[in-house]
Amino acid sequence: MKSLETLEVWFVTGSQDLYGEQTLQQVATNAKAIAESLHANQQIPVAVIWKPTVKSPEEIFAICQEANTAKNCIGIVAWMHTFSPAKMWIGGLKILQKPLLHFHTQFNRDIPWDAIDMDFMNLNQSAHGDREFGFIMSRMRLNRKVVVGHWQDEETIAKIGTWTRAAAGWNDWQGAKFVRFGDNMRQVAVTDGDKVEAEIKFGYSVNTYGIGDLVEVINKVTEAEIDALVAIYASSYNLMPSLQKGGAQHASLREAAKIEIGMEAFLVAGNFKGFTDTFEDLHGMAQLPGIASQRLMAKGYGFGGEGDWKTAALVRAMKVMGTGLQGGNSFMEDYTYHFNPSNRMVLGAHMLEICESIADAKPSCEIHPLGIGGKADPVRLVFNSAPGPALNASIVDMGNRFRLLVNEVLAVAPVHALPKLPVARVLWKPYPNMHTGCAAWIYAGGAHHTCYSQNLTTEHLEDFAAMAGIEFSLIGKETTLHQFKNELKWSDVYYHINKQ
């Protein structure tokens, strides 16, 4: 995964000419100090770049235009140190295509009780200057994040950091290409959807390639390339005896390596950021890609099983958002339940493809039969996942809009060994509890496929949904079914009226 350091957010301060040169000089000096301080803070993974104060409609329009076309600029942080009459902002905000964070701060943390005079009041008036700016954004019905607090307060800075991560994910989607190897699984509803609308709304494209195109690349993989990857498998994982050199199924491991190398070559050549496959469409392939999908996900590619392109794209965006953070993000499926009243929980897994970024220890590399698909036994990585707070996210195509649905969960350490379960897995307890959490998910039409995240929070995804201009539904600690069902109904009305 590429580091986020090359990305920028621009720190733009609004003011006006009527304050005179001296005050404007001070505004610029203070704004620069804030931008530099945010830039140096480890909680913000991207560069924060100070820009000269904007004081007129022309200057505001120009900076928004520049931000739109600047490749590395992923958003604007706007702050009104003084009063900046907001009609000046209309033209710029109308054309701004990058996410905006409204930072409601003040240079001075404390009121200087003994020294405060009208000069101080004149300089430090974001308390009302930012209200004027907030009004015009609300009046224009613009999505943005408002962060309130002193610029040296770590909690406040963390919120800005979260937003920059969401903006990095959003930026990554713009112009991104996802490939589907084959169509989605026949007759399945939730993994299908409107790819045209997704491209309009989200900025990424999804296109299908026949399996034959992929098989052609796989068949060009050399024995030397396979030798090298098999050696990496042997040093990175605990290979089960039959897969080891000389073992009865070593040829299957070599076949899995060949598939991985071919798939990666295909993705690199096409500049794809993620992919889907399906067990129903593997013509010419020996086995369903298991370890290949797992390892490509760990390298940062998005993945969705059974042709699920929405989840593949979401996995990719969430991996970008989580860059450099402890813990991982993986394709996931709610698989089976433990309904014991004393300890209700969900077992999440997939047929094969769980990303090793969420593994709690060195995975074991195994081969077992797969009940469906009619192909050779696939090689896969098997592991448990660490306990702790996590979440599941799903993008749902509701026909007239997309909904980003999040369920906060608590992952738990496995209480029993699972000697016969041949796939990677996670155990979790949904918030607010199993019954309410699962019922709410089903009322919201959430998919069985999700992106499971150990390192992102609801706030990252709420910011991300705002950037995309889509519905955000949260199932968390405070959720009650009655309220949640109403929210879904009210949202239906809102999105019926508000056609963006």
- Residues that bind Mn ion in the complex, under the rule CB under 5 A: 305-306, 333
- Residue nearest Mn ion, Cβ-based: 305
Is the N-terminal amide bond of 432 cis, ω within 30° of 0?
A: yes
Q: Say if residues 427 and 411 touch (Cβ distance below 8 Å).
A: yes
Hey, what are 138's tokens? 């609300």
Minimum Å gap between C-beta 333 and Mn ion is: 5
Minimum Å gap between C-beta 492 and Mn ion is: 27
Rounded to the nearest 10 degrees, how much is the dihedral formed by the CA atoms of 432, 434, 435, 441? 80
352 vs 456, beta carbon nearer Mn ion: 352
254 vs 350, beta carbon nearer Mn ion: 350
* Nearest in space to 130 (alpha carbons), one of 112, 103, 110, 156: 103
* Nearest in space to 351 (alpha carbons), one of 285, 306, 401: 306
305 vs 446, beta carbon nearer Mn ion: 305
305 vs 378, beta carbon nearer Mn ion: 305
51 vs 449, beta carbon nearer Mn ion: 449
What gap in Å lies between CA 28 and CA 314, rounded to an integer? 39
Minimum Å gap between C-beta 204 and Mn ion is: 21
Q: Say if residues 193 and 310 touch (Cβ distance below 8 Å).
A: yes
145-148, strands of its sheet edge to edge: 47-50, 8-14, 73-80, 100-104, 145-148
Minimum Å gap between C-beta 449 and Mn ion is: 6
284: which residues sit within 8 A by CB, 6+ positions away?
A: 211, 212, 215
What gap in Å lies between CA 235 and CA 376, rounded to an integer? 25
Residue 223: burial class (beta carbons within 10 Å; 0-12, 13-18, 19+): exposed
Q: Say if residues 436 and 444 touch (Cβ distance below 8 Å).
A: no
Q: In which region does residue 125 sit, left (phi positive, over 0), alpha (psi from -120 to 50) or beta (all else)?
A: alpha
305 vs 437, beta carbon nearer Mn ion: 305
4 vs 312, beta carbon nearer Mn ion: 312
167 vs 396, beta carbon nearer Mn ion: 396
255 vs 306, beta carbon nearer Mn ion: 306
Minimum Å gap between C-beta 305 and Mn ion is: 4
Q: Say if residues 148 and 104 touch (Cβ distance below 8 Å).
A: yes
Minimum Å gap between C-beta 350 and Mn ion is: 6
Hey, what are 257's tokens? 């390596």
What gap in Å lies between CA 195 and CA 206, rounded to an integer? 7
Minimum Å gap between C-beta 191 and Mn ion is: 8
Hey, what are 196's tokens? 């045209």
Backbone angles phi, psi at 146, to 5 degrees: -105, 120
Rounded to the nearest 10 degrees, how much is the dihedral formed by the CA atoms of 326, 329, 334, 336? -50
Minimum Å gap between C-beta 361 and Mn ion is: 25
103 vs 303, beta carbon nearer Mn ion: 303
State whether the Cα torsion 429-301-358-305 is positive or negative: positive
Hey, what are 274's tokens? 């993620």
